[in-house]
Structure 1
Amino acid sequence: MRFTFILLFSFTCYSAISQQFEKDVINTNKGPLTITFIGHGSLMMEFNNLVIHIDPSSKEADYSGLPDADLVLITHHHGDHCDAVAVEHLRKQGTATILTALAKEKLGLGEIINNNETKDFKFIKIEAIPAYNLIHKRDNGELFHTQGCCNSYILNIADKRIFIGGDTENTPEIKALTNIDIAFLPMNLPYTMTPEMVADAAKAFRPQILYPYHYGKTDTSIILELLKDEKDIEVRIRKML
Structure 2
Amino acid sequence: MKKLLTILFLLPFFWAYAQPETFSTKKGNLEITPVFHAALVMQWNGITVYADTYGGAERYKNMKMPDLIVITHEHGDHLDEATLAGLDLTKTELIAPQKVIDQLKNKTFAKITVLPNGQNYTYKNIKIEAIGAYNIPEETARHKKGVGNGYVLTFGGKRVYLSGDTDGTPDMRSLKNIDVAFVCMNPPYTMDVVPAADAVLAFKPAVVYPYHYRQPGNKFSDIELFKKLVNDRNPKIDVRLRNWYTAAQ
Q: TM-score, normalised by structure 2?
A: 0.83
In the TM superposition, residue 65 of structure 1 has moved relative to its aligned partner by: 4.8
Evaluate the alpha carbon distance shift between residue 195 and residue 61 of structure 1 in structure 2; reply closer, same or farther with a 3 A threshold: farther
- Taking the aligned partners of 1:156 and 1:48, their CA distance within structure 2 comes to 13
The alignment partner of 2:86 has SS state of helix
- Over aligned residues, Cα RMSD in angstroms? 1.9
**In the alignment, what sits opposite 1:31?**
28
**In the alignment, what sits opposite 2:177?**
179
- Taking the aligned partners of 2:210 and 2:180, their CA distance within structure 1 comes to 11
**In the alignment, what sits opposite 1:112?**
114
Evaluate the alpha carbon distance shift between residue 29 and residue 198 of structure 1 in structure 2; reply closer, same or farther with a 3 A threshold: same
Identity across the alignment (%):
36
Residue in structure 2 matching 1:100, options 92, 97, 101: 97
- Taking the aligned partners of 1:24 and 1:102, their CA distance within structure 2 comes to 31
**In the alignment, what sits opposite 2:224?**
221
Contact 1:64–1:89 under 8 Å retained in 2: no
Determine whether 1:123 maps to 2:125.
yes
- Taking the aligned partners of 2:116 and 2:88, their CA distance within structure 1 comes to 22
Residue in structure 2 matching 1:91, options 82, 88, 112: 88
State which drifts further: 156-165 or 55-64. Answer: 55-64
**In the alignment, what sits opposite 1:9?**
none
In the TM superposition, residue 87 of structure 1 has moved relative to its aligned partner by: 2.2
Letter in 2 for 1:169: D
In the TM superposition, residue 84 of structure 1 has moved relative to its aligned partner by: 1.8
Evaluate the alpha carbon distance shift between residue 60 and residue 120 of structure 1 in structure 2; reply closer, same or farther with a 3 A threshold: same
The alignment partner of 1:62 has SS state of helix
Residue in structure 2 matching 1:236, options 231, 237, 240: 240
Evaluate the alpha carbon distance shift between residue 92 and residue 143 of structure 1 in structure 2; reply closer, same or farther with a 3 A threshold: closer
Contact 2:57–2:86 under 8 Å retained in 1: no
Residue in structure 2 matching 1:152, options 150, 153, 162: 150
State which drifts further: 37-46 or 91-100. Answer: 91-100
**In the alignment, what sits opposite 2:141?**
143
Residue in structure 1 matching 2:168, options 141, 148, 170: 170
- Give structure 2 stretches of 5+ with no counterpart: 1-13, 215-219
- Taking the aligned partners of 1:223 and 1:180, their CA distance within structure 2 comes to 18
Residues 201-238 of structure 1: per-residue CA shift (max 9 Å, x gap) = 11111000011101111111111110123122100011
Q: TM-score, normalised by structure 1?
A: 0.85
- Taking the aligned partners of 2:126 and 2:46, their CA distance within structure 1 comes to 13
Letter in 1 for 2:222: D
Residue in structure 1 matching 2:63, options 38, 62, 66: 66
- 1:199-218 equivalence runs, <5 A: 199-216=197-214, 217-218=220-221
- Give structure 1 stretches of 5+ with no counterpart: 1-17
Letter in 1 for 2:236: D
In the TM superposition, residue 85 of structure 1 has moved relative to its aligned partner by: 2.6
Contact 1:40–1:213 under 8 Å retained in 2: yes
